[in-house]
Amino acid sequence: MRIGAALGVWLGAARLFAPAFAQDAAREPVADATAPAVATGVLPLDLSPWGMFLHADMLVRAVIIGLAFASLVTWTVWLAKTIELWRAKKRARAALGAMARARTLAEAGHLLADRRDAVASLVRAAAGEVRLSADLRNEGLKDRVSWELDRIEAAASRRIGRGVGILATIGATAPFIGLFGTVWGIMNSFIGISQAHTTNLAVVAPGIAEALLATAFGLAAAIPAVVIYNLFTRSIGGYRALLSNASTAVLRLVSRDLDRQYVVALPRAAE
């Protein structure tokens, strides 16, 4: 009897609380098998730079390709101008050594007759001006020679500095181009966050990393360009100093020749 009474009490309690349990169960959301698993997301399997590049937005990929091409141009200019400057400086030093041994402008022209560098052009230009001024007074000869040497020196400086300006352009614009790609990629990531209705870091981080890859490429293109540009600026300044020394040496030889003509002419004038 006692067992039967206890069972009756439990069954009555169950009937009393069953509607409440049914209401709580109705309030709980039912998992839909067809709903996407937003919390986990579809993460890229490869988070290496190449993998992030493949998963990035089209515009971000275009920015990265452009920055990679700019970096290739930087190193190409570095190789070409390094060889050109090394050869130009070597020839200028050798020509200066030959001019230091010469006593007259004609002798210097003979020593540099088979050369086609800037210093040899200075000597030939001075010799040509002296030849054209043979029937004129000598007072303005050095000024005319100096003008011609300045013109040749400026042309040689422009020629040796050709292609260096693009390094300054790359160094100044590459970080901003990379930043543009990063901003665009982060905007797309935020739009994806809004559409996915989740702030799970595992879902958000890959898109932001792909966007930051553009800034990394921008810095990788800009930093070497700025450093190489500064190196070339100093190297070209050294080459211009060699040309200036060569112009001074040419004017010195012209002045010696004029003084010799004056010394030779003194005994004849005395007679």
**DSSP assignment string, 120-189:** HHHHHHHHHHHHHTTTS-STTHHHHHHHHHHHHHHHHHHHHTTTTHHHHHHHHHHHHHHHHHHHHHHHHH
Residue 218's pLDDT band (cuts 50, 70, 90):
very high
> Residues 32-67: pLDDT tens digits?
444 343 334 445 555 666 666 666 678 888 888 999
pLDDT of 235 over the 90 cut: yes
Residue 173's pLDDT band (cuts 50, 70, 90):
very high
> Residues 109-142: pLDDT tens digits?
888 888 888 999 999 999 998 888 887 777 788 8
- Indicate whether 83 belongs to any domain: yes
Contact, 92 vs 249, CB < 8 A? no
Structural domain containing residue 125: 49-87+120-132+139-271
pLDDT of 268 over the 60 cut: no
Model pLDDT, residue 262: 56
- Indicate whether 161 belongs to any domain: yes
Residue 176's pLDDT band (cuts 50, 70, 90):
very high
- Indicate whether 234 belongs to any domain: yes
- Indicate whether 205 belongs to any domain: yes
What burial class does residue 198 get, using C-beta atoms within 10 Å of its C-beta: 0-12 exposed, 13-18 middle, 19+ buried? middle
Q: Which two tokens stand for residue 63?
A: 């920015």
- Indicate whether 191 belongs to any domain: yes
> Residues 67-101: pLDDT tens digits?
999 999 999 999 999 999 999 999 999 999 988 88
- Indicate whether 19 belongs to any domain: no
Q: Find the mean pLDDT for residues 210-233.
A: 91
Sequence-separated (6 or more) residues with CB below 8 Å from residue 82: none
Residue 231's pLDDT band (cuts 50, 70, 90):
very high
What is the number of structural domains in the chain?
1
Q: What is the pTM for the complete model shown? A: 0.72
Beta-carbon-side half-sphere exposure of residue 246 (alpha carbons within 13 Å): 33
Mean pLDDT of the residues in the chain? 78
String of DSSP letters for the chain: -HHHHHHHHHHHHHHHHHHHHHHHHHHSPPPPTTS--TTT----S--SHHHHHHHS-HHHHHHHHHHHHHHHHHHHHHHHHHHHHHHHHHHHHHHHHHHHH-SSHHHHHHHTTT--SHHHHHHHHHHHHHHHTTTS-STTHHHHHHHHHHHHHHHHHHHHTTTTHHHHHHHHHHHHHHHHHHHHHHHHHHHHHHHHT---HHHHHHHHHHHHHHHHHHHHHHHHHHHHHHHHHHHHHHHHHHHHHHHHHHHHHHHHHHHHHHHHHHHHHH-
